[in-house]
């Protein structure tokens, strides 16, 4: 199979990297020669993923970040090494009937899944413009953006 692109030597920020797809993406990208910046709220879980990346001979930077908190994202980018690619992967859900959903639960999901993508993308783009170099944004989405899913209204909307 021909390789259409390479991530070798690139530094890639992955949000939601403490578990699930984010941790998987970190390992897969490191196996292809990328160094990674692992961002999430659960730092202790990030450390475990970082160790797995380092065992592959790649660099892993652990970055505490709550994508639903604009100030947290801004602070992380102030301390973060320059990145070439961003994988916006962080996401949460809340299950329950729409008419019983609290505004707080709705906001937690939308602020993470939608506003978080905007905030991380905003600061990445500012970094790339400041440094005069290109970058790439990869936004991970759910199949529920294309089909109906019951009892997860804010997740589907975001």
pLDDT at 5: 86
Question: Among 6, 1, 75, which Cα is nearest to 39's?
Answer: 75
Going by pLDDT thresholds of 50, 70 and 90, the confidence category of residue 4 is confident
| Dihedral sign for Cα atoms in the order 131, 134, 136, 137 | positive
Question: Which are the catalytic amino acids?
Answer: 155
Whole-prediction pTM: 0.96
Question: Which DSSP string do the residues of 27-49 spell out, in sequence order?
Answer: HHHHHTT-EEEEEES-HHHHHHH
What value does the mean pLDDT take over residues 89-113?
96
Kindly list the strands in the beta sheet with 11-15, ordered across the sheet, starting from the edge strand earlier in the chain: 60-64, 35-40, 11-15, 85-88, 136-139
The class that CATH gives domain 11-157 is: alpha beta
Q: Distance (Å, rounded) from C-alpha 124 to C-alpha 11?
A: 12
pLDDT at 1: 47
Out of 26-30, 116-120, 149-153, least confident range: 149-153
């Amino acid at each position: 199979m021909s390789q259409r692109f390479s991530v070798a030597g690139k530094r890639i920020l992955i949000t939601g990297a403490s578990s699930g797809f984010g941790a998987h993406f970190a390992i897969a990208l490191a196996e292809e020669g990328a160094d990674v910046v692992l961002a999430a709220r659960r730092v202790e879980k990030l450390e475990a993923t970082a160790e797995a990346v380092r065992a592959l001979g790649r660099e892993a930077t652990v970055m505490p970040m709550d994508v639903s908190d604009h100030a947290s994202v801004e602070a992380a980018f102030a301390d973060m090494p320059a990145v070439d690619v961003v994988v916006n992967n962080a996401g949460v859900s809340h299950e329950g009937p729409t008419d019983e959903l609290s505004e707080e639960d709705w906001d937690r999901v939308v602020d993470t899944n939608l506003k978080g993508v905007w905030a991380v993308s905003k600061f990445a783009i500012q970094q790339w413009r400041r440094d005069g170099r290109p970058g790439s944004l990869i936004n991970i989405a759910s199949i529920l953006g294309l089909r109906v899913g019951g009892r997860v209204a804010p997740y589907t909307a975001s």
